[in-house]
Structure formats: structure tokens, C-alpha cells
Amino acid sequence: MLLAIETSCDDTAACLYDGQAVHAHVVYRQAIHSAYGGVIPEWASREHEVRLPLAVQEALQQGGIGWKDLRAIAVAQGPGLLGSLLVGFTYGRALAAAYKLPFIGVHHLEAHVASLELAPEPITYPLLVLVATGGHTHLFRVQHPLALEVLGRTIDDAIGEAFDKVAASLGLPYPGGPEIERLASQGDPTAYAFPRPHTEKAWDFSFSGLKTAFLYARRQQPGLSVEDLCASWQEAVFSYAVEKLVAAAAAFRIPRVGLVGGVAANARFRTLLQQHAQKAGLTLYLAPLEYCMDNAAMIARAGWHKYLNGLYTPLSAVPFARG
């Protein structure tokens, strides 16, 4: 049984995993940031300090096992907020030292990609995966969960960050993605035409122009309901992302695509990609809903691959904010 810990940003999570099944899945989503439009790093670290031991204890209880049953400790090593990462990483390192267990540092984006393998159907590699989170928007060619090649990435805001900023401009709580989705579901996606972003490199992304366009549209079209505006904006963001992912699959001649990360929890995003993938004859893998937003099960799955390959992390290692 492997214990996994995730504290990259504002979610405190612990999981027990044995390579076959998730035996405990605990996520505490910090609510203290909700009124501030984004995560306050110092507060996030302090909340992790308080919550992580409780989350781990709860996971052991859920799994019905004790410390002596653990075989390895996997922890998110980065990228993320350094103070937040330090809490989980140091805690995991201490556990590994105390119980003499292999210690495994996991890359947060590799973990998001590995969340695809938590779905029941087996994955055929290689495939193209879009990681759509609040901190990153990366297009990867994935040969294996531990062999990722970046084909493109956002040159400005991450896709989830754009949702959070648009929501904040409407006075909605953080995280803004689910709030925008809720409003969009009551609006007309064809009410307003947003411009299509352009990037110099074909497989990069840009979302800050769309975010600014939302603010202008709101000011210049006071007659437009906020529901219609959100529906049109969300549709523009997702059709842009989906069409690029599907085009990349054709360009790189890989007939399989995947979608992971917090923004992959959006029902419209999932449906739109399903429709486009089907039309293009692509096999589609979607991260299971409960493993889209940050969680420790995805850390466990990526950590499991490292465990099987003996890819342990020295206890002298440190977390990293970027990379």
C-alpha cells in the first residue's frame, strides 16, 4: 500500500493506493481563499500544516490500515506554491525516514496525466494530453505516464486562471470555474462572438486576450445578460482548446487524446471534446470527475509507476516551484 500526499496549491489531499484500487481518497479544499479571487500562498501553507496530518489519519482510517502496512510514500514535489509544497514534502520525507520506506517525489503535471489511468478502461499509448488547470495549460505527447514531451503551452494565463479572473471580475468566489460553468449553463453560447486567440507557435495557447475581451464585452454590451456572456465566453475558450487538441492529433498522427486537470471537470468542455473527437475518429480518454481537481490519487498513480521502476527520491531532495 502506497500513501500519497498532495499539497501543491490550496487542496490538502491524502490517498491510499495499491496499484489496483484507491483505498482512501481524502481531499480538503481550503475555503479561506474564496473571497479573494485566488489563493493566498501564506494562508495555504498554514492550512496545510493543520490539515495534512488529519487528512493522512483519515486516509489510514478509511483504508483500515496502520503505519506498518505502508510500503512507500509518494508526495507532490512541484511545480506549485513553494510554501505549500514544503509542508507536504517535508511531512512525507519525515514519514519515509521514520518508517524506513521508499520516498517518491512526484511531478504535479505527470500526476494530472496519470489521473487518466484511474479510469476503469486501459489506456493505449502514445496519446496527446491537454493538462487544463489553474496553474498550467500544457499539451503533451505522452509515450508513458513518466515520459512526457511538451508540444505547446500557454504563453500567458492558464485556462483555469482565466476562469478564476473572469469570475473575480463578476464578484464571484474562488475557484471561479464552477461558478462560470453554473452561469453559462443558463445562457446562450451564441449570444456574443469572442475573438479567436493567436499564438506564433501552432501548439501554444493564449487565454489572456479572451479574458480581456470578456471585460470589454461586459462594459460595451450592458444589454447582454451575464449568463449569455458567460456561456459565449466559455464556448469560445473551449472550442479554441478542443479544436487545437484535435488538430494536434491529426498533425502528430496520434489518434488518441486525453483531457485532465481541474478545468476538465467542466461538463461542457467534456461534451465538446467528445463530439469533436468522435467526428475526427479519435479515441478519447477523460480524467474521472473526482480526479480532475487536485487530489492525491493522481499522485499515487504516478508514484506507483516510479515505485515499480525503483525511481526513488533521495531524502535530501527539495521541492520546486517551477519546472
Beta-sheet pairing, 72-78 with 103-107: parallel
Question: Residue 263 interacts with ligand KG4 (CB under 6 A)?
Answer: yes
- Exactly one of 294, 304, 313, 319 binds ligand KG4 (CB under 6 A); that residue is 294
CB of 64 to ligand KG4, least distance (A): 28
Question: Residue 294 interacts with Zn ion (CB under 5 A)?
Answer: yes
State which residue, 41 or 255, has the beta carbon closest to ligand KG4.
41
Question: Residue 163 interacts with ligand KG4 (CB under 6 A)?
Answer: yes
The residue range among 55-63, 70-78, 127-135, 143-151 that interacts with ligand KG4, by the rule CB under 6 A, is 127-135
Amino acid symbol at 102: P
Pick from 3, 91, 84, 76: nearest CA to 40: 84
Question: Residue 203 interacts with ligand KG4 (CB under 6 A)?
Answer: no
Spatial separation of the C-alpha atoms in residues 175 and 168, rounded to whole Å: 9
The site string for ligand KG4 over 60-99 (x = CB under 6 A, - otherwise) reads ----------------------------------------
Number of chain positions touching ligand KG4 (CB under 6 A): 20
Beta-sheet pairing, 2-6 with 137-144: unpaired
Could you report how far apart the first and last alpha carbons of the chain are, in Å? Answer: 29
Number of chain positions touching Zn ion (CB under 5 A): 2
Spatial separation of the C-alpha atoms in residues 86 and 48, rounded to whole Å: 10
Pick from 151, 221, 149: nearest CA to 192: 221
State which residue, 189 or 258, has the beta carbon closest to Zn ion.
258
Q: Which does 92 bind (CB under 5 to 8 A by kind): ligand KG4, Zn ion, none?
A: none
- Exactly one of 133, 206, 266, 313 binds Zn ion (CB under 5 A); that residue is 133
Amino acid symbol at 126: P
Spatial separation of the C-alpha atoms in residues 61 and 244, rounded to whole Å: 44
Q: Please give the radius of gyration of the chain, using alpha carbons only, rounded to the nearest integer.
A: 20
Spatial separation of the C-alpha atoms in residues 316 and 117, rounded to whole Å: 30
- Exactly one of 164, 204, 228, 235 binds ligand KG4 (CB under 6 A); that residue is 164
Spatial separation of the C-alpha atoms in residues 185 and 234, rounded to whole Å: 10
The residue range among 65-73, 93-101, 226-234, 290-298 that interacts with Zn ion, by the rule CB under 5 A, is 290-298
Question: Residue 262 interacts with ligand KG4 (CB under 6 A)?
Answer: yes
**Beta-carbon count within 10 A of 200 CB:** 7
Tallying the residues shown for the chain, one arrives at 323
CB of 165 to ligand KG4, least distance (A): 9
SS3 content of the chain, % helix, strand, coil (to 5): 45, 20, 35
- The dihedrals phi and psi of 15, each to the nearest 5 degrees, come to -150, 150
In 3-state terms, what secondary structure has residue 196?
coil
Question: Residue 105 interacts with ligand KG4 (CB under 6 A)?
Answer: no
Which grid cell sits at 269? 468542455
State which residue, 14 or 72, has the beta carbon closest to ligand KG4.
14
CB of 319 to ligand KG4, least distance (A): 15
- Exactly one of 37, 78, 105, 160 binds ligand KG4 (CB under 6 A); that residue is 160
The residue range among 131-139, 145-153, 172-180, 302-310 that interacts with Zn ion, by the rule CB under 5 A, is 131-139
Per CB under 6 A, residues contacting ligand KG4 are 9, 133-135, 160-161, 163-164, 175-178, 181, 261-263, 265-266, 293-294
Contact set with Zn ion (CB under 5 A): 133, 294
